[in-house]
Every structure is written in C-alpha cells, then in structure tokens.
Amino acid sequence: MKFAIIYTPFLEQHPYIIEKAEEYFEDVLAVPIEGVRYEYRSDGTPKVMYKNTDLTDFDIVFPRLSGEDLLFSEQMIEILNESDVYVHMDSDSFSISSNKFSTVKELSGGEVKVPRSIYTLSTEAAADAAKNIGYPVTIKLISGYGGKGIMRAKDESELRPIIDTLEVFEQDICLQDFIENPGEDIRILVIGEDTYSYKRVGLEEEWRSNISRGGNREEFDAPEWMREMAVKASKLTGFDICGVDIISSDEEGFIVEINASPGITEETSEVVGIDIPEEMVTFVKQKALAVEHEEEV
Ligand SMILES: Nc1ncnc2c1ncn2[C@@H]1O[C@H](COP(=O)(O)OP(=O)(O)O)[C@@H](O)[C@H]1O
Ligand SMILES: [Mg+2]
C-alpha cells in the first residue's frame, strides 16, 4: 500500500510520523505542498501530481497543513476525497477548522458546548455585544494560530483600541466569552472513536496555554464526558483524526478549537503513554483497506 504525507511548512515532527508509516507501508512519500500541482483535463478526474507521481493513485494521503494556503489545500482534499484516496477529513473540514468562527458555527447545534461567540464587521456592534456577553471578553483573529491572534479586554476602555486596530488591518471582529481558567486547557487527540488526553499549562502570568507560546504538556486523564464531547465535535466537523481544545472546570467544558493537524511529537506520546504515530498509522491503514473493500463490492 502507498502512503503520502503532504506538509507545509516542514516541521521536525514529520519524520516521527513518516518513520512509523515506513513500518506499515511499502511506499511512503513525503511531499511539500509547494511541489504539488493539480491537473484538470476534459476527460477523467482531476489529478494531484508531485513531480511524476500521481497522488490520486495512493491509498492514503495524510495532510499536515497550516491554514496558510487554504484555497489550494481545500482543492487538494476535495480531489483526493473524490478519488477514493483515504484522507482523515471531509472536503470542507479543513476550511471549517481553519476558521475559528466556522468551527463554532458547526459546533453550535447544542450537542457540545462552545463559548458564546459574536462575529461582526462593525465596532459599534462589537462594543454592544461585549456589554451583553459581559467582560472580560476575548477578541480573536479568525485565522489566528499557535496562540497568536487572541486578545483579552477587561472592559470597554480596553476593547475599543483593539477593535479600532482590527479595523485598520481590515480584520473581521470576533468576540468570545472569556472562560475563566488557570492558564491551562485540555487537548484531546481523537483517532476514530479513540481519545488520548493531556493538559497544556501555560507559562506563569500567561492565560494562553499553547505549547508554541511556551506551555507545557502534563498528564491528564480526561473524564468520559469530555472524551465523548471531543469525539462528537470531530464528527460534527467531519474529522476522523483531529485535536480538540477544551477549556474546562470539573463539570463542564467548552470547545475553543479543532485542529486538523495537531502537534504530534515524542513528548505527546510520552505524556499520553501511547505511541501516537503507531495508533494513527494503523488506524488510517484500516480505513484505507475498508475503502478498497468497498470498491471491490
Ligand atoms: N474563550 C476563551 N476564554 C479563555 N481562554 C481562551 C479562550 N479561547 C482561547 N483561549 C486560550 O487561548 C489559547 C489559544 O486559543 P485558540 O482559540 O485555541 O487559538 P489558537 O489557534 O491560537 O490555538 C487556548 O489554548 C486557550 O488557552
Ligand atoms: Mg488552540
């Protein structure tokens, strides 16, 4: 069977997954998205080409993408899904997860909890909404990442300069209820129906708990309700594999984000006590075998 990982940018964690894939697949290819081209012809289905290799002939393509080349990446996932290549997400999942407010929208049907969120173009509407939600509020850039693009205002005097600045940079205004938390959140890795959890604890005096902002992973055995919520959220957004960020107290939790390419390093495996690449690679292999079987029937 053939497995390809398509990435942007290159991260040191990719070889960790690739080495595991090599144990389970005869052909393993690592592809930078910059090298990919799509070919459309009037006859037949579109192709996803890398040099002389047609990736639509692969059994599995595993995207590890930032939201940077969103439109290009979306096309790729769509073509691969239509070509019966196994990808761990639906065609629109990537765009949903790349936009924090699309994520909230998909999740807001009542099955899982999300923070109360407001999306507007007008500073006046934003100031009114913040009064309504109650301070403090968070202000988020739609496509922020790694903890960059999220701000907090304790009152209107702090909010106004932030939203005025967003206007200058022509950014939409997204407000969200600030969920009180001790600078930590829960990351749940979902692989099919299985879940692996840990806590991310931010630096001192820091309310953002992202690892890329200096946060640390700590062991955390998530309660069953939280795991179920994460699996439900992955299904609502069309993912078989994803990372779900939850801010939580003992009894309730709010989902703040779904990550299409959650960070997977040796430390992640250590903190959950399971070889995560192994779980992922064996899961996608099973899925691809099921696709093959369907084709035969
Ligand atoms: N509504 C919120 N209330 C309190 N803290 C939040 C809220 N949303 C996010 N955070 C904190 O900020 C971090 C980054 O926010 P998130 O929405 O996950 O964006 P990013 O893509 O930057 O990770 C979260 O991990 C969490 O620690
Ligand atoms: Mg996050």
Q: Which domains does the chain have, with CATH numbers?
A: 2-88 (3.40.50.20), 116-177 (3.30.1490.20), 182-280 (3.30.470.20)
Distance, in Å, from the CA atom of 240 to the CA atom of 287, rounded to the nearest integer, reads 10
Query: Separation of 88 CA from ligand 1 center, angstroms?
Result: 24
Assess whether the C-beta atom of 161 lies below 6 angstroms from ligand 1: no
pLDDT score of 231: 98
Rounded (5°) CA angle 284-20-63: 50
Closest CA relative to residue 88, chosen from 226, 216, 259: 259
Q: 285 to each of 77, 171, 232, 281, 282, how far by Cα in Å? A: 18, 41, 22, 6, 5
Assess whether the C-beta atom of 163 lies below 6 angstroms from ligand 1: no
Query: Separation of 53 CA from ligand 2 center, angstroms?
Result: 34
DSSP letter at 156?
A: H
Query: Separation of 39 CA from ligand 2 center, angstroms?
Result: 34
- Pocket perturbation via mutation, ligand 1, pick of 256, 259, 261 by most ligand atoms within 8 A of CB: 256
Assess whether the C-beta atom of 182 lies below 6 angstroms from ligand 1: no
State phi, psi for 138 to the nearest 5 degrees.
-100, 150
Q: In the structure encoding, which two tokens stand for residue 137, read together? A: 């509020």
Minimal-distance CA residue to ligand 1 atom 11: 208
Residues of the chain with pLDDT under 50: none
Rounded CA Rg of the chain: 20
Assess whether the C-beta atom of 97 lies below 6 angstroms from ligand 1: no
pLDDT score of 145: 86
DSSP letter at 66?
A: -
Closest listed ligand to the CA of 202: 1
Residues 6+ apart with CB under 8 A from 112: 229, 232, 233, 236, 255
**In ligand 1, which atom is closest to the CA atom of 148?**
22
Assess whether the C-beta atom of 146 lies below 6 angstroms from ligand 1: yes
pLDDT score of 297: 67
**Order of strands across the sheet that contains 148-153:** 117-120, 173-177, 137-145, 148-153
Residues above pLDDT 90, as percent of the chain: 82
Query: Separation of 256 CA from ligand 1 center, angstroms?
Result: 6
Query: Separation of 143 CA from ligand 1 center, angstroms?
Result: 12
pLDDT score of 134: 95
Distance, in Å, from the CA atom of 32 to the CA atom of 30, rounded to the nearest integer, reads 7
Assess whether the C-beta atom of 181 lies below 6 angstroms from ligand 1: yes
pLDDT score of 294: 80
Query: Is the full-model pTM beyond 0.85?
Result: yes
Q: What is the pLDDT of residues 178-235, one digit of tens each?
A: 998 889 999 999 999 999 999 999 999 899 999 889 999 999 999 999 999 999 999 9
**Bridge partner list, 248:** 253
Minimal-distance CA residue to ligand 1 atom 2: 178
Closest CA relative to residue 218, chosen from 261, 255, 268: 268
